[in-house]
Amino acid sequence: MPPVAIAMYLVILSKMPYGPFSIVESKELVSGYKTEHFGVWRAGISVIDGTKTFVLLYAFVAIFIGAVPFWAALIIMILILVSLSFVCAVTPMLSPFDSVTIQGLVTGLMLVYVGYLWWVMP
């Protein structure tokens, strides 16, 4: 598995609604879109959040696995979604500082990997 796939997996994980990189829920209850939007608007935001997750999952499958039939892509997307769900279930929500630190470390590792490839490739 290329390191870029791991980085994109972390990006998808950071975009999950209740993942370890999400903003702590209590802050959104005091200020944010959960207090400003209600009813139909809130339902629309929830639908868009779900659609965003599946678009990212399909992009992951299309980029790293390749052209597969739509039914196979759906099965692979569900398997990736189950793995993301387990990660979200067993990890605590990180503080904003820890979230930025982890994502910064992964970005640094990707830059080191790109530098290594640039050095090694003719």
Tell me the one-letter amino acid at 58: Y
Maximum separation of any 2 CA atoms in the chain, in Å: 58
CA 67 – CA 109 distance, rounded (Å): 28
CA 30 – CA 53 distance, rounded (Å): 25
- Asked if 40 and 34 count as a contact pair (C-beta separation under 8 A), the reply is no
Domains of the chain, by residue range, sit at 3-120
CA atoms within 13 Å, Cβ hemisphere of 56: 20
pTM of the model: 0.71
pLDDT one digit per residue (tens) for the chain, 122 residues: 688 888 888 888 888 877 666 665 555 556 665 666 677 877 888 888 889 889 999 999 999 998 899 999 999 999 999 998 888 888 777 777 777 888 888 889 889 988 998 999 87
